[in-house]
Amino acid sequence: MIVFTKIKKLLMILSCLVLVGNGHANAADKIVLRMSTPAVKIDKRSQGLQNVFAAKVSKFADYQPHYNATMFKQGTELPAIARGNLEMSITSSQEIAKLIPAWSIFTAGYLLRDWDHQQKVFKSSIGQQFYKMVEDKLGVKLLGVMYHGKRHLNLRTSKKVMTPADMAGVKLRMPGTDAWQFLGKALGANPTPMAFTEVYTALQTGAIDGQDNPLPTDKDKKFYEVTKQIILTGHLADMNFLALSQKVWDKLNPEQQSIMQDAADDAMQVISINIESNEAILEDFFRQKGLKVYTPNVEAFRKRVLDMYLKSDFSGDWPKGMVEKISAL
Ligand code: KDO
């Protein structure tokens, strides 16, 4: 029933797009929105932004996406927006936490449960409080949250992994921030930082033993071609935020702001539903490609990861009582 309602919503959004005109303003008069991301063009987030967001703001804005980190290196987009050198990016809690430590609460493994939980948190006063920190400190407006999928372990080695102890000595690529590296350690691995665009080759050559990402990303980036197993730890219900320069937002008139916010909401809804429904069918895809896909002792992973976060230096930066508030939602 829930799936049916979500698909109905998705169809409604997509059918409305037929009514969206291609824009009246000349290209030269439009506000340019350059968006930089390490994601590939066929990624659900790239597609949703192009097909829904770009179409809906096209009357007054010219959306120009740059994929595969060709414009800005992964992790440098937020400072670029803050400096006025870029208009948009698909950012993460881990990137924000580098600049605003309180945000590391959302990098903790096994804290947020799923897409529904993410929406509840970011539509509540908690979301408003955290969005405001980003506006005040970075001059970046977060237009909302989108689901990126549950992250699982994906290894090129074939040794079975059931608990964090089985990850000892495994050279696990994690993205290059402290929060990501800590998550790798909490999973029992030997984490190593590396940009997303380098992971495929590193798996192919054996420079790393594995990586973690949601199933749709493993498919879009073809990691299944160079790995042997996916261990369904679900250690992070991952999410991204659509980041926009506050200066650009402030230049829009109230009607344009309202159109842009609706466009972002609809795009992120479509993206999240697409990712969720793909996750549900991709296990079989990977099995057909010859990978072993199995569920480990998730409780053992959950316990170790959560314990390590709660005892870490990160938790010292979290607002008092926030873990409990988030968990209660
Ligand atoms: C990655 O580097 O593994 C990651 O999945 C981290 C995410 O936060 C996000 O930045 C994502 O890469 C990129 O958008 C590329 O898909």
pLDDT tens digits for range 99-134: 999 999 999 999 999 999 999 999 999 999 999 999
Q: How far is the CA of 221 from the centre of ligand 1 (A)?
A: 11
Q: Whose CA is nearest to atom 2 of ligand 1?
A: 196
What is the structure's pLDDT at 10? 59
Q: How far is the CA of 39 from the centre of ligand 1 (A)?
A: 7
Q: How far is the CA of 171 from the centre of ligand 1 (A)?
A: 18
Mean pLDDT estimate for the chain: 94
The atom number, within ligand 1, closest to the CA of 94 reads 8
- Return the best residue to mutate from 49, 92, 152, 174 for the ligand 1 pocket (most ligand atoms within 8 A of CB): 92
Asked whether 107 and 302 are in contact (CB, 8 A), the reply is no
Task: Reply yes or no on whether the pLDDT at 14 is more than 70.
Answer: no
Tokens of 326: 């988030």
Mean pLDDT of 177-193: 97
Task: Reply yes or no on whether the pLDDT at 21 is more than 60.
Answer: no
DSSP code, position 321: T
Query: Torsion-angle region of residue 192: left (phi > 0), alpha (psi -120 to 50) or beta?
Result: beta
Q: Whose CA is nearest to atom 5 of ligand 1?
A: 213
Q: How confident is the model at residue 25 (pLDDT cuts 50, 70, 90)?
A: low
Distance of alpha carbon 237 from alpha carbon 119, whole angstroms: 12
Distance of alpha carbon 324 from alpha carbon 165, whole angstroms: 28
Q: Whose CA is nearest to atom 6 of ligand 1?
A: 175
Distance of alpha carbon 41 from alpha carbon 71, whole angstroms: 14
State pLDDT tens for residues 129-182: 999 999 999 999 999 999 999 999 999 999 999 999 999 999 999 999 999 999
What is the structure's pLDDT at 280? 87
Contacts for 81 with CB less than 8 Å, ≥ 6 apart: 87, 88, 89, 138, 139, 140, 243, 244, 245
Distance of alpha carbon 245 from alpha carbon 261, whole angstroms: 14
Tokens of 327: 């968990």
State pLDDT tens for residues 193-228: 999 999 999 999 999 999 999 999 999 999 999 999
DSSP code, position 296: -
Distances (CA, A) of 38 to 49, 102, 119, 325: 14, 25, 24, 33
The atom number, within ligand 1, closest to the CA of 74 reads 10
What is the structure's pLDDT at 1? 47
The number of beta carbons lying within 10 Å of the beta carbon of residue 41 is: 12
**Topology given in CATH for the domain delimited by 2-17+27-328:** D-Maltodextrin-Binding Protein; domain 2 (3.40.190)
The atom number, within ligand 1, closest to the CA of 38 reads 15
Distance of alpha carbon 304 from alpha carbon 186, whole angstroms: 7
Q: Whose CA is nearest to atom 12 of ligand 1?
A: 196
Contacts for 32 with CB less than 8 Å, ≥ 6 apart: 61, 62, 64, 87
Q: How far is the CA of 106 from the centre of ligand 1 (A)?
A: 15
Question: Which secondary-structure segment (H or E) carries 224?
Answer: none
**Residue of 110, 159, 95 lying closest to 299 (CA atoms):** 110
Mean pLDDT of 258-277: 97
The atom number, within ligand 1, closest to the CA of 214 reads 5
Q: How far is the CA of 196 from the centre of ligand 1 (A)?
A: 6
Distances (CA, A) of 182 to 26, 54, 173, 207: 48, 36, 12, 20
**Residue of 242, 214, 272 lying closest to 91 (CA atoms):** 242
Task: Reply yes or no on whether the pLDDT at 8 is more than 70.
Answer: no
Q: How far is the CA of 125 from the centre of ligand 1 (A)?
A: 27
Q: Whose CA is nearest to atom 16 of ligand 1?
A: 39
Residues within a 6 A CB radius of ligand 1: 37-39, 43, 90, 92, 94, 175, 196, 213, 217
Residue in this structure with the two tokens 């050279």, named with its chain if needed = 171
- Return the best residue to mutate from 217, 221, 239 for the ligand 1 pocket (most ligand atoms within 8 A of CB): 217
3-state helix vs strand vs coil in the chain, percent to 5: 55, 20, 25
Asked whether 74 and 175 are in contact (CB, 8 A), the reply is yes
The Cα angle at residue 203 between residues 287 and 186, in degrees rounded to 5: 85
* pTM for this predicted structure: 0.92
Q: How far is the CA of 204 from the centre of ligand 1 (A)?
A: 19
Mean pLDDT of 285-294: 98
The atom number, within ligand 1, closest to the CA of 151 reads 5
The number of beta carbons lying within 10 Å of the beta carbon of residue 152 is: 22
The Cα angle at residue 208 between residues 204 and 209, in degrees rounded to 5: 90
Distance of alpha carbon 12 from alpha carbon 6, whole angstroms: 10
Task: Reply yes or no on whether the pLDDT at 307 is more than 70.
Answer: yes
**CA neighbours closer than 13 Å in the CB half-sphere of residue 203:** 26
Q: Whose CA is nearest to atom 7 of ligand 1?
A: 92
